Amino acid sequence: MEVTVRQAGERDVPRMFELVKELALFERAPEQVTVTLEQMREAGFGADPVWVGWVAEVDGMVQGMAVCYVRYSTWKGRRLYLEDIVVTEAARGQRLGEKLFMACVRHAVQQGHNGMLWQVLDWNTDAIRFYERFGASFSDEWLNGSLERDALLNLAAR
């Protein structure tokens, strides 16, 4: 089995869009996906891209993805927001999520961001445990996780 994580290209968007729909089913909200394939493509690869992504391939087939964008905090400055990590059910347990997460961490460090944050549904205990392995902290409500700059640097140095 050959696993490759690479920055997403425009050609990957149709498969990434499929993974978004798979995630929405898992999160019990398929009707909430209102973005179109063309909108997703334009937002990532159009004249004014707002997201950057990575894909995880297993034997040449995209089985996972991560999508991030820059968020600005008046208190903390530029931070990378991890919108989604998705690994298709058939490919779970192969550390694809970890590889995608680390691609985001390294990107945040390379771009000079002061931290990285994301949200986790409170019932998604597997995801919560996943992020806790990296030293993430969580709030009491939406479980907003984050890694501060020091943690990003430590992880990136692994």
List pLDDT tens digits, range 15-73.
999 999 999 999 999 999 999 999 999 999 999 999 999 999 999 999 999 999 999 99
Contact 103, 81 (CB under 8 A): no
97-136 pLDDT, tens per residue?
999 999 999 999 999 999 999 998 889 999 999 999 999 9
CATH number of 3-156: 3.40.630.30
Residue partners of 81: CB distance under 8 A and separation at least 6: 68, 69, 70, 71, 116, 117, 118
| pLDDT band of 146, cuts 50, 70, 90 | confident
Query: Which residues form the catalytic set?
Result: 131
